[in-house]
């Protein structure tokens, strides 16, 4: 859209509405241009050095007398579609035990050939054992500009991060891309080894470098641990104490 004739007082703020309605899971780019000039038609006086003239000429409109008759601000806008929140994934384990669970994540609406990063166009590797419409997808941990798909486990707070980060591990074991349906299937191996009963939540964030993001809520539940042992105390008589000794071993220093 195009707006003109907006009057601003000195130090007044201008809110520019930006509407984003994506039609596909790919990145959209735009640029918001704001052109300002004095209402009375006068020019700004400004001394431009030789070193800064090249960059300023792109964003100013010089006047014939050496002043500036207009200033242009450029605001790049990057639109990344985000899929609706997926169903909850629950990982359950008894405290002081370890569980491994395969979790399948389906990424809907992936558009083949829509790459925002030029180097990523050649990063796909085709698996000869799969069908013609299925290919492997390069996936890495963290957020890197060279990978196709990126994943990260996010936490609601630093407190939850400190409780879960050392107890949860995720590793991608299988990935497929069906180009006909636009569905990417990522299968993760989730390891959960809680040391005490808890119930915490996290979010698996998967992002496509060509645009698009998927969030998978996850809940980690640690139930009560198994009983270590049973202590039997035999009475030696009425109103007499009976004592049984047992050892406790600390897992840390």
Q: How far apart are CA 173 and CA 171, in angstroms?
A: 6
- What pLDDT does residue 145 have? 40
- What pLDDT does residue 140 have? 57
CB 204 within 8 A of CB 91: no
**Residue 71 parent element (H or E):** strand 68-79
- Kindly report the CA angle at 116 between 115 and 120, in degrees rounded to 5? 60
- What pLDDT does residue 191 have? 96
pTM above 0.85, yes or no: no
Q: How far apart are CA 78 and CA 18, in angstroms?
A: 11
Q: How far apart are CA 217 and CA 203, in angstroms?
A: 4
Tell me the domains of the chain and their CATH numbers. 28-79 (no CATH), 82-111+148-225 (2.60.40.60)
Report residue 27's pLDDT band, with 50, 70 and 90 as the boundaries. Answer: confident
Residue 99 structure tokens: 């569980």
> For 32-77, how does the pLDDT look when each residue is reduced to its tens digit (9 = 90+)?
999 898 888 888 887 666 665 566 666 777 777 777 888 888 899 9
Largest CA distance in the chain: 112
Spatial CA neighbour of 140 closest among 114, 155, 168, 120: 120
- What pLDDT does residue 159 have? 93
Burial of 196 (0-12, 13-18, 19+ CB in 10 A): exposed
> For 204-245, how does the pLDDT look when each residue is reduced to its tens digit (9 = 90+)?
999 887 788 999 999 999 999 999 889 999 998 899 999 999
**Is 80 exceeded by the pLDDT of residue 14?**
yes
Helices (H) and strands (E) in the chain, counts: 2, 12
Beta bridge partners of 25: 110
- What pLDDT does residue 113 have? 59
CB 204 within 8 A of CB 158: no
**Is 60 exceeded by the pLDDT of residue 133?**
no
- What pLDDT does residue 116 have? 44
Q: Which residue has the tokens 């990982």?
A: 91
- Average pLDDT for residues 4-30, to the nearest whole number? 87
> For 99-126, how does the pLDDT look when each residue is reduced to its tens digit (9 = 90+)?
999 999 998 877 665 554 333 333 333 3
- 3-class DSSP state for residue 200? strand
- What pLDDT does residue 142 have? 53
| Alpha-carbon torsion angle 60, 63, 66, 68, nearest 10 | -40
Burial of 118 (0-12, 13-18, 19+ CB in 10 A): exposed
């Amino acid at each position: 859209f195009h707006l003109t004739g907006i009057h601003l007082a000195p130090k007044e703020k201008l809110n520019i509405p930006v509407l984003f309605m994506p039609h596909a899971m790919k990145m959209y780019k735009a640029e918001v241009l704001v052109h300002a000039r004095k209402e009375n038609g006068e020019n700004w006086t400004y001394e431009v050095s030789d070193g800064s003239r090249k960059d300023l000429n792109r964003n100013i409109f010089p006047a014939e007398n050496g002043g500036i008759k207009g200033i242009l601000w450029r605001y790049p806008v990057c639109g990344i579609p985000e899929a609706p929140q997926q169903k909850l994934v629950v990982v359950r384990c008894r405290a002081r035990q370890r569980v491994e669970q395969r979790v399948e994540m389906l990424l809907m609406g992936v558009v083949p050939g829509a790459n925002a990063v030029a180097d990523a166009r050649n990063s796909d590797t085709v698996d000869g054992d799969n069908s013609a419409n299925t290919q492997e997808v390069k996936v890495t941990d963290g957020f890197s500009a060279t990978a196709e798909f990126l994943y990260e486990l996010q936490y609601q707070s630093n407190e939850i991060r400190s409780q879960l980060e050392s107890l949860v591990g995720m590793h991608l074991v299988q990935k497929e891309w069906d180009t006909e349906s636009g569905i990417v299937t990522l299968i993760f191996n989730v390891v959960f080894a809680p040391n005490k009963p808890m119930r915490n939540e996290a979010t698996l964030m998967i992002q496509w470098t060509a645009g698009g993001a998927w969030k998978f809520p996850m809940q980690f539940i640690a139930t009560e641990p198994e009983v270590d042992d049973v202590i039997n105390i035999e009475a030696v008589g009425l109103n007499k104490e009976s004592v049984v000794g047992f050892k406790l071993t600390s897992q840390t220093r």
